[in-house]
Structure 1
Amino acid sequence: MTEGNMSFLDDERWSGLRGGYKVIYDPRPALRALALRYDDRSVWDDLWNELHHQGDVGDASYAAVVEIVRISEGQAPAYWGAYGLAATIEEARLLYDRNPPVPRWIEPHYQAAWRTLVHLALRDLATATDDVTVNCALAVVALYRGQFNLGRMAMCAEDERAEMLRDYFGR
């Protein structure tokens, strides 16, 4: 862990952050577990459950994205959940006014994490074969490039996109 990340993780403000349920949630224990056991689905489930709830995210969600990306940098390919969770959090941040803005102390880390995340997504798109990784990585790229609706569509399953197109084009 780099010195910069250590000071970010050691910041006492983490203990007062709020997650998707709008209650205090400190994601650092789950993030530390993820760093040790990247493929542990129960850790990913915990992060998904606590950082996002029915379109709601909190400042803990933004801070966690920073660490999820840092941890995912050492994985090739990154787990689809890194892309999916980051895209879901970013979509909720942009879509719903009820969600808080990224706090100033997290903002530079969050922006840097997104720059790294898009590079990881482009790397993994070159070899990914499973639909969920492709969908989530494409969503990350689209959101990063300001293509909000494309990002939202990318998160949908292929059959959902086909249904939308049939409804739109009438065939």
Structure 2
Amino acid sequence: MLSLDDPRWRSYKTAIGADFDVASMLGQLLKSGPTKQLWDECWNYLVYQGEIGEVSYAAVPYLADLIRNSSEIDWNSVALISEIELARPDGPDIPAELQEDYMQTIASMPLVLSQHPQRQWDELTTRCAASCIALAKGQRELGRIYAEMSIEDGGEWLAGQIE
């Protein structure tokens, strides 16, 4: 995992191409815990309207650490991991120094989520977690469906299949 004080963080582009200190943002997220402002920054700089930057790949292991070390899973963390992985095929190449940690983190998500002490999840967290698990197992379309289809949409689709 790229250390938060590594100068290479500054060389990676954000999702919107802006110059922003993502390493400090992640450090604050891990140290102080999530706030609406920090999540808004994550959604602006790590994933923005389906776009990602190289810095998004560097952030994924830290988002997984946040899940591991939190008593409750915040849907934002699993949603960001899912959205980054969903955007990867059309996004920038993963820098060589980030490749192994990124791919290992994606592959580890089923275990990270199954070992988490929180046993009851809300619908959004569950959908995002299911998306991460599907993506870790190479099921990109299922990952996208879980990430994007609400219970209401799924119910309507199922009702249409029964008729």
TM-score, normalisation: structure 1: 0.83
Contact 2:53 2:92 in 1 (8 A): yes
1-side partners of 2:109 and 2:143: how far apart? 14
2-side partners of 1:106 and 1:37: how far apart? 25
Structure 1, unmatched stretches of 5+, are: none
Number of equivalenced pairs? 162
Work out which structure has the larger RCO, using CA pairs closer than 8 Å and 6 or more positions apart in sequence: 2
Contact 1:59 1:102 in 2 (8 A): yes
Aligned with 1:114 (options 106, 112, 118)? 106
Aligned with 1:75 (options 70, 74, 81)? 70
Aligned with 2:144 (options 152, 155, 162)? 152
2-side partners of 1:75 and 1:31: how far apart? 14
Equivalent residue, structure 2, for 1:163: 156
RMSD over aligned Cα, in angstroms? 2.1
1-side partners of 2:36 and 2:77: how far apart? 12
1-side partners of 2:56 and 2:81: how far apart? 9
1-side partners of 2:140 and 2:117: how far apart? 19
TM-score, normalisation: structure 2: 0.87
Equivalent residue, structure 2, for 1:100: 92
What is the one-letter code of the residue matched to 1:24?
D
The one-character-per-residue Cα deviations of 1:37-70 (angstroms, maximum 9, x if unpaired) are: 2232221121012111222101011111122212
Structure 2, unmatched stretches of 5+, are: none
**Equivalent residues in 2 for 1:1-171, closer than 5 Å:** 5=1, 8-94=3-89, 96=90, 99-124=91-116, 127-155=119-147, 156-166=149-159, 169=161, 171=163
What is the one-letter code of the residue matched to 2:142?
L
